[in-house]
A and B are shown apart, each in its own frame.
Chain A
Amino acid sequence: MRGLKLIGIALGGMLAASGAFAQGKTWTTVKIATEGAYAPWNFTAPGGKLEGYEIDLANELCKRMKVTCEIVSQDWDGIIPALNAGKYDAIMAGMNVTDKRKEVIQFSRPYGGEPASFGIEKSSPLAKLPHNGERFDLTKDEATAQKAIDEIKPMLKGKTIGVQVSTIHSNFLDKYLKDTITIREYKTTEQHDLDLLAGRVDGIFASGSAIRATFEKPDFKDYAMTGPRFSGGVFGTGVAVGLRKQDNDLKKLFDDAIASVVADGTLKTLSMKWFKSDITPQS
């Protein structure tokens, strides 16, 4: 294995060298990966075209960064390794900034964020979860949030909750409700939505924006976002562009472009268009 490591170091050196070379040139094309299954952030329209808040935003940012962009879709569970493997240069896939992710990639400044919540059938006993619609920030006031979690536990006892695998939402359930509920993890949020409809899970746990987008569909007219809303803590500090650690010049480009769309209100316009509410970062 030592031999492999040496080759790795040699390759890394070559990459770093070419990277240094690349630093000299300016970015002309940027390949951005998105999931294409996380409406309204990013989704695949019936014709196969990628659409959503992040697609519009990516195009706008690229215009401001004066680069040509190519947007590709990539499965969620391999999206970070493939960035580091150089398959593309940036991730815009509703990805929240978390400490764990910061160990392997870096992030631009955030361009969105929404508290997480439960999606429940209106006729279900869980529809009466306490603290409905109240916001709890796990960073600012963990004690109050913990109290709210303890208060919803008795009702959730023994229920099955669907969540997308390796997301901040599954991390939350793992950390706070693991012993109370059965967690069933799905590859995409679309899949847990289908299983909620099929009655295989008692509820879903996801970002408020994703739940709202799903429940707008006529099939989901008997479902509603329910219970307390959580943010901060394991949820990280918002949704941002994921970038390789060494691409500091690209981070600067994205940071400036995001700052400019925040400043002139373009980001808010896009947010109203796709979310019908303001999900731009509050600071």
Chain B
Amino acid sequence: MSTLNIVNKSPFEKRSLDQCITRTSSGDALLLIEDAVVAAVSGTAYDAPLTEAGQNMKLYVLEGDLAARGFADSEMVNGFTPVDYKGFVALVAEHDRVHSWL
């Protein structure tokens, strides 16, 4: 059973990303949407923890939300795959469960 974890708040504002990455199991996936996309930009305090988390699970970021915040051309943390909304839908269908970390 695999879980798609969705985080929508910046880790510099809320603790949901920290709570998520310490509670996932291998084979899970993480999708960053809305304000959480800032965590996928390299060079912040979340670069190392997310690179490490990426060893056990796949990392995705919603590219439209990244572009809306001006980070479209920025360098991303290693291991992140950008997806559009159809990619988002496919991820939800692929995994057995979805968990929105609100």
User: Do the two chains belong together in a single complex?
Assistant: no
Q: Which residues of A contact B (CB under 8 A)?
A: none
